[in-house]
Amino acid sequence: MLALTDQELLRYDRQISLLGFDIDKQQMLKNSAVLIIGLGGLGCTASLYLSRAGIGKLTLVDFDTVSESNLNRQILYTHQDIKQLKVDVAKQTLIKMNSDIEIDTINQKLDDVSLTSLIKQHNLVIDCTDNLSSREQINRCCFQVKKPLVSGAAIRMEGILTTFTYQANEPCYHCLSRLFGQDQLTCIEAGVMAPLVGMFGSMQALEAIKVLTDYGQPLVGRVLMIDAKSMQFNHVSLSKQPDCQVCGNSNKI
């Protein structure tokens, strides 16, 4: 286990001072590797906070380039990055903020086999994608190797956040998604308010830190639903569906 340097002890002093967090947990962050899939509004914010908070390694996956309509909410990019690969620009920006962090980038869509082998090399996965089929794939692969997954989605003025650790009798993403069917809108169709994705990206980073360091109670078996128009925060509990196609007892995809 890599120990913290004197400079890191200073930089992360405000986290180390937290009751129950201490040097041990900051050191756990330094020795953690997180896989972030999707570098839109959620992924930009989550990667920014995780690198600032002292995570040891990030792997960024995205196969898109920066466009003008990204700039209102994808806070790692500027006007001069337009048409460049998101993974490249994101890496450069994050390294500027924290040069101690190790960053790998993958500029392609992965199939189940390569995604699962990538997930195995990390301690936790953050789903920052914007479509149902990617979310289902990430959940399927995380479940297979039982790696924790922090899942967030934001659209219009609403969003949901939840965490899966895939222990016995815990639900998976498919236990949730099968409740709302196939007709999912995207932000291109429905729009999204810029600070909303910042809220959810930050909360995804926070959940990741909690799971990685065993600090507090992550949103396992619970879904946080926020309606930003009225600022109503609600929790619903989510249980394992015995006949779920992914985590159910009888059949596996």
- Binding stretches for Zn ion (CB under 5 A): 172, 174-175, 244, 246-247
CB 210 within 8 A of CB 218: yes
| Start-to-end C-alpha separation, the chain | 37
Is 57 or 147 the residue whose CB approaches Zn ion more closely?
A: 147
Secondary structure (3-state) at 100:
coil
- Smallest distance, Zn ion to C-beta of residue 131, A: 19
Measure Cα distances from 157 to 39, 181, 184, 224, 244 in Å: 20, 20, 15, 14, 30
- Smallest distance, Zn ion to C-beta of residue 140, A: 10
Is 47 or 139 the residue whose CB approaches Zn ion more closely?
A: 139
- Smallest distance, Zn ion to C-beta of residue 171, A: 5
- Smallest distance, Zn ion to C-beta of residue 53, A: 30
The residue with tokens 């930050």 is 202
- Smallest distance, Zn ion to C-beta of residue 199, A: 26
Is 169 or 217 the residue whose CB approaches Zn ion more closely?
A: 169
In 10 A of CB 133, how many CB atoms?
10
Residue nearest to Zn ion (CB): 244
- Which residues touch 181 (CB under 8 Å, ≥6 apart)? none
Is 73 or 174 the residue whose CB approaches Zn ion more closely?
A: 174
- Smallest distance, Zn ion to C-beta of residue 174, A: 4
What is the four-CA torsion angle of 190, 195, 197, 199, rounded to 10 degrees? -140
Is 119 or 172 the residue whose CB approaches Zn ion more closely?
A: 172
CB 27 within 8 A of CB 2: yes
CB-based burial, 166-190: b 16+ in 10 Å, e otherwise = beeebbbbbbbbeeeeeebeebeee
- Smallest distance, Zn ion to C-beta of residue 244, A: 3
Is 29 or 161 the residue whose CB approaches Zn ion more closely?
A: 161
The residue with tokens 């596996």 is 252
Rama region for 156: left / alpha / beta (φ>0; ψ in -120 to 50; rest): left
Is 30 or 174 the residue whose CB approaches Zn ion more closely?
A: 174
